[in-house]
Structure 1
Amino acid sequence: DHCLVIDEEKIRCGVDAISGSECEAINCCFDGHTCFYGNAVTVQCTKDAQMIVVVARDATLPHIIFTSIKFLAEDERCNPVGLTSAFAIYQFPVSACGTVLTEEYGVLIYENKMSSSFDVTSGPVGLITRDSDFELLMQCRYIGTSVKAVVVEVGVAPAPQPVAALGPLDVELRLANGQCINKGCVEAEEIVYSSFYVDADYPVTKVLRGPVYVEVRMLHRTDPNLILTLGRCWATSSPDPYSHPQWDLLTDGCPYSDDRYQTTLLSMHTTTQVQYPTHHKRFVFKMFSFVMPTIIPKGPTSGAKIYSHLKEKVTIHCDTAVCIPSLGYDCQPRCHRKGRDVAASGRVASGEETVMVSSKEVVIIDPRASL
């Protein structure tokens, strides 16, 4: 509910002693005493030809980044006139910030577009982002002596869906669907990995920056001395593991060091959920979307790069192997170390099979506030 704003974050909307109906008429929320802005993007048009735009941090998930907001044109009048941890407030003349004026049947229509950019992280064979891209087309309509604010269109972005495939070694990659609702419970395997998605659950969706709980397990083996190892784990925008773009999640069994939101490896030593803990590997990564760079061919910004989300699904892949511990080698990756330890981290016992395993496709969604 966009009107669920905590008291300390409420910003008053409208004049003093405003009624509930008057408050709702200007697109705000009323709690019986106070008229305030809700967790959305609120557009208001005044009779003295001003456009007021109040943007809530929670208007998107992940939260919108206030410093990335822009309008059709930029000048000093387009900067926020008020800024809190939860809201950014803009107010400018309807003719400013690149607003386009049209007229039809005696109605003056002032139209502008608010959008937010996103940070792009680059890797050797792919580009990703964990930020949402947000666009809002808005209008002020002046009809005789009346004024009407209209939100015309909200730009909607990508969407997720996950898991499981068998290899000749009988290795399965699956996603856990347990709920981690307590702060800091990212490693609470007993909660999160208490259940897993099955075929009937698909399509499964994930939000940008939301945690994706992955388990790779070895099937039909009962030897407790066998250890399942992970080499490289990565994601692609298609089911083909060799397609581009790609993004690494693990390299040599360790979190990919060039990702600002590094993958978290989970320990199997403390779990009581499985009979053979060494036959399982678990890790968590933050959901992302692939992006595609485009070169602007013409105009004043010719040659510049712009980035856009690839409206596609993501598939997860892992190279796996079975290892038998030997004297001086315990089959565990040597993360955060250098030299011979790193080289040894990808080693498997002689003669053991290796196999690549893939998930089903994960659909990425970017929930928006209903405006």
Structure 2
Amino acid sequence: MLVFKGQRRGEEGVVGWSFIMAQWLWCEGTFLAVLVATVVAQKAMPPDPIINLMSTDTKCQMLEKVPCGFLGISPENCEAIGCCFDGQQCYYGNVVTVQCTRDGQFVVVVSKDSTVPQLDLTTISTLGGNEVPCSPVVSTGSFVIYNFPVTTCGTVATMAGDYLIYENKMTSSYEVGVGPLGSITRDSTFELLFQCKYLGSELVSLMADVYTVAPPPPVAAPGPLRVELRLANGQCNTKGCDEEVSAYSSYYEDSDYPVTKVLRQPVYVEVRILGRTDPNIVLLLENCWATSTPDPLGVPQWNLIVNGCPYQGDKYLTALVPVDGSSGLSFPTHYKRFIFKMFTFVDPASLHHLEQKVFIHCSTAVCHPSATDNCEQRCFRKRRDVGAVQKTCAHHAASILALPPFPSLSSSSSIFL
């Protein structure tokens, strides 16, 4: 166990950090690296503080040299940010480097020499997966460099006093050989837990151009907007009936939860505006995701809808259900519906199914149609005018239990009301 503490004094003040716990566990040729880093960003912090998570005498012995720091950086400043200087250039060593920028970005540099045997850099992923923006921005034979906002890629945000802490984790997958009497692997495993810690309150100057928009049409009644998320349970019991239409004919009550579903069984979700009769407002779904606890920021998480579109990282894509005048609803624009296939979270260590509840959360917006925006959601469209929307959230405390798939299972045992 190694623990490093230190501070560096700059022209504007003192920047402090308290890190690093690095633990090595050797077991029949398998190398496990557990890394934790905390970076403190203060008002006097230089733009790009960089913390190295491993320090060895051979860290600068690199055949492939990836530039580190700004152009023309001095040897002293290069070493101060934990990089190597060979007399001509500043470059990253064969270590793991975490950087927190003042504009709210994670920069993580991982070397293949971070583990023994060498790490397969193509197997690394964040809590949010390895799709854009969570995929590497630079990939070489020896390094991968990640650069993504601290609010994306499954990052968990918490408050600790006056500080806002963003925490994420990188892990690697590995190949397992399965034999008749046992299973083995010859790949190293890698886990990196990293944080950015920012002071939550600070006076800053902001210049902005304000563009006025036409006032929205009057609402039916003053007051805050309330949004509800609920699960449908209607049955298609007649020949030729529409399964989706029948499903949304009835809904679970609060006393019915937790609802039990078989893996891959469809789950019918509806989000609606409550207590409004204004036909000139439109409910929009921004993001929907699932967690294993009622905390919407808790992990593990799984995306269902991202930016109004089905999450592309899922083999079983979420299906958006149109809601129009044929639905029989008085205000169909106040409703959004989607269907996803039931799943269960897997223990990241043992890869075993976790017998936990699944909680669904959605962030929403309410849009006022105008001459330039009809409030129709399309995947991959440009961000709509912020003046046209009012953001709300629907975090449902109800839960779903997952049962493993069986060769045969009666309907009475697959759903518990």
Structure 1 length as normaliser, TM-score?
Answer: 0.47
Q: Which has the higher contact order (CA 8 A, sep 6+)?
A: 1
Structure 2 length as normaliser, TM-score?
Answer: 0.42
